[in-house]
């Protein structure tokens, strides 16, 4: 029984480690900008699919490329999702600051777009988006340059939009006759990511089996937490982020570019979501709905830990991840079997979905006692 409990505890901590990586980015974004980003789970999903693409590319090369592809996938997933997050902040979030309901609905809509994009993406869609962006935004750039700083007429912008759409649709109709352009890259079905050979093994410690993949996830989490701590505490931009978190108005008065801080923060949080997606791909198959399995737990980690607090986020992530696994796997019910009424109650919740219900109920009870989380947020913005 002891070995089984320790294995379940180890697996729960590894799941908590994934939640921690994802919650780090969300805690920074929510704590600094007050943005409830419902698309954070889909950014994790994009990071997981990026890992799948890198794996397929390195598998063709074979040898040392496939054995070490996970490190390349981590870097590319971080950069790709950070870029997606930057575009999302510049194009959508920036215009919705101070309007939490509109931000929630907008990011929820973006999450649905990302899910459908992964199901439907093919070369035809990619070429169409690229062609439209070149025609429309390139045309806007030319018009702005020729206007010598003057305002471009809305009629010209509308005409440029119609021309760009027309050319893109025409080109799409021509390319749609070729099957190679219409074949989906991923489809609606889940895809499997094969871990490198050295991550598929494990080690035994006193009869306790420790898979290398889960040890790797824990080590990755430690590196991410350490990197974020050093960035926030020892870098100039980290100082600016902490200043804006404490008091945005005063930071702006002191010359800190708050809009640029927001963009960097959102890109950093999105990049961490991509790293979390890469870690998720080592635990199971990846699908368009992968992010939905983690987004609720991630938000609970941020709220329970205390908005924007690193230590609270660590404690909440490990606690929630471990509790979910111990309850959902029935391990806790087995350990408490001498206490029959409590064991019967835990057996009722001994499924993955019901374990989330029980943990959520416990979190509600905890927040009645400490509404600000384990470590409540401090600063003048809290008083306001």
Asked if 38 contacts 108 with a C-beta cutoff of 8 angstroms, the reply is yes
Residue 307 confidence (pLDDT) above 60: yes
- What are the tens digits of pLDDT across the range 121-147? 888 888 888 888 888 888 888 877 777
Asked if 125 contacts 142 with a C-beta cutoff of 8 angstroms, the reply is no
Q: The pTM is what?
A: 0.84
Residue 380 confidence (pLDDT) above 90: no
Q: How far, in Å, CA of 256 to CA of 305, rounded? A: 28
Quick one: pLDDT at residue 308?
65
51: enclosing H helix or E strand: helix 40-61
Residue 18 confidence (pLDDT) above 80: yes
Quick one: pLDDT at residue 384?
42
- What are the tens digits of pLDDT across the range 150-183? 676 777 778 888 888 898 888 888 888 777 778 8
- What are the tens digits of pLDDT across the range 205-239? 777 778 888 888 889 989 988 888 888 888 888 88
Burial code of 167-196, b = ≥16 C-beta within 10 A, e = fewer? ebeebbeebeeeeebeeebbeeeebebebb
Q: How confident is the model at residue 100 (pLDDT cuts 50, 70, 90)?
A: confident
Quick one: pLDDT at residue 381?
47
| Mean pLDDT, residues 42-50 taken together | 91
Q: How far, in Å, CA of 160 to CA of 175, rounded? A: 22
Residue 81 confidence (pLDDT) above 90: yes
Count, residues in the chain:
384
Q: What percent of the chain has pLDDT over 90?
A: 7
């Amino acid at each position: 029984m002891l070995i089984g409990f320790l294995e379940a505890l180890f697996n729960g901590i590894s799941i908590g480690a994934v939640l921690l990586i994802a919650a780090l980015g969300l805690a920074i974004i929510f704590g600094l900008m007050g943005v409830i980003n419902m698309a954070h789970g889909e950014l994790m999903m994009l990071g997981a699919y990026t890992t799948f693409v890198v794996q397929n590319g390195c598998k063709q090369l074979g040898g040392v490329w496939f054995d070490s592809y996970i490190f390349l996938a981590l870097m590319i997933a971080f950069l790709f999702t950070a870029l997606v997050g930057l575009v999302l902040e510049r194009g959508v979030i920036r215009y919705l600051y101070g309007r939490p309901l509109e931000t929630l609905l907008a990011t929820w809509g973006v999450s649905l777009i990302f899910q459908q994009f992964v199901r439907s993406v093919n070369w035809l869609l990619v070429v169409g988006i690229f062609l439209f962006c070149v025609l429309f935004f390139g045309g806007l750039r030319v018009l702005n340059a020729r206007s010598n700083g003057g305002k471009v007429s809305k009629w010209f912008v509308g005409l440029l939009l119609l021309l760009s759409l027309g050319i893109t649709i025409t080109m799409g109709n021509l390319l749609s006759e070729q099957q190679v352009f219409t074949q989906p890259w991923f489809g609606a079905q889940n895809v499997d990511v094969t871990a490198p050979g050295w991550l598929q093994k494990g080690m035994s410690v006193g009869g306790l089996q420790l898979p290398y993949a889960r040890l790797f996830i824990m080590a990755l989490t430690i590196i991410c937490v350490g990197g974020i701590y050093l960035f926030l505490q020892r870098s100039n931009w980290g100082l600016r982020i902490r200043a804006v978190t404490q008091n945005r108005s005063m930071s702006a008065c002191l010359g800190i570019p708050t809009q640029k801080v927001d963009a960097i923060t959102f890109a950093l949080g999105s990049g961490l979501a991509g790293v979390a997606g890469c870690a998720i791909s080592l635990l199971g198959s990846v699908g368009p709905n992968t992010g939905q399995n983690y987004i609720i737990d991630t938000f609970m980690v941020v709220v329970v830990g205390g908005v924007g607090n690193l230590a609270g986020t660590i404690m909440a992530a490990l606690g929630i991840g471990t509790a979910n696994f111990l309850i959902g796997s029935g391990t806790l019910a087995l350990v408490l079997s001498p206490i029959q009424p409590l064991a019967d109650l835990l057996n009722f919740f001994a499924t993955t979905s019901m374990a989330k219900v029980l943990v959520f109920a416990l979190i509600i009870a905890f927040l009645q006692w400490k509404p600000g989380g384990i470590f409540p947020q401090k600063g003048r913005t809290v008083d306001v």
